Amino acid sequence: MDTESRPNVGVPNTGQGTLIVHVTTARGSIPLEGALVHVRNGYPESVPAKGDVLTTRTTNRDGNTPRILLSAPPRQNTLTPNAGNTYTPYNIDVYLEGYFTQNYLRVPIFDGITAIQPVDMIPLPENGTTDSRTPDSERFLESTGPDL
């Protein structure tokens, strides 16, 4: 992917957005306390889930992380065509003992906006082994912009 099509390359992040990760199980009906959430930068692209860890938070009894402030391009970029990138992509990894790890790639963060990322954890089998139909981890491509 060339530099011009990558969100945020060469564009100063003078804005700030907020991220809250909401971790549950049973299709969103049971909040999970104690999940470890790593927020990583969205690049390098060669290993998207392995970007640098920017912050690590733990979920509370409601399954939510505290508000995480992240840099983003200025809001003014959304007001003028071709003014620059409008969001910064981040990767999110969620770990909790007894559950498959969840990885969310390219989650967009916008200046002045609070993003809530829902995470539905999948329990490991009771016998502790996986079969060929059960993935070792789940990967989701959360967002693709029009330039991707």
- How many residues are present in the chain? 148
Instruction: Give residue 3's pLDDT.
Output: 34
Q: Which residues contact 44 (CB under 8 A, 6 or more apart)?
A: 51
* Sequential pLDDT tens for the chain (148 residues): 333 334 444 456 788 999 999 999 999 999 999 999 999 987 655 455 567 899 999 999 999 999 999 999 998 887 778 777 889 999 999 999 999 999 998 899 999 999 999 999 999 987 655 555 545 555 454 555 545 4
What does pTM read for this prediction?
0.75
> What pLDDT, on a 0 to 100 scale, did the predictor assign at position 85?
83
- Between CA 148 and CA 134 the distance in angstroms is 30
CA 95 to CA 122: how far, in whole Å? 11
Residue-range domain boundaries for the chain: 3-137
49-59 pLDDT, tens digit each: 567 899 999 99
- pLDDT at res. 141: 44
Q: What DSSP designation does 6 have?
A: S
Give the CATH fold of the 3-137 domain.
Immunoglobulin-like (2.60.40)
pLDDT tens-digit series, residues 102-122? 999 889 999 999 999 999 999
Q: How far apart are alpha carbons 134 and 142 in whole angstroms?
A: 21
Phi, psi of 49 (to 5 degrees): -85, 0
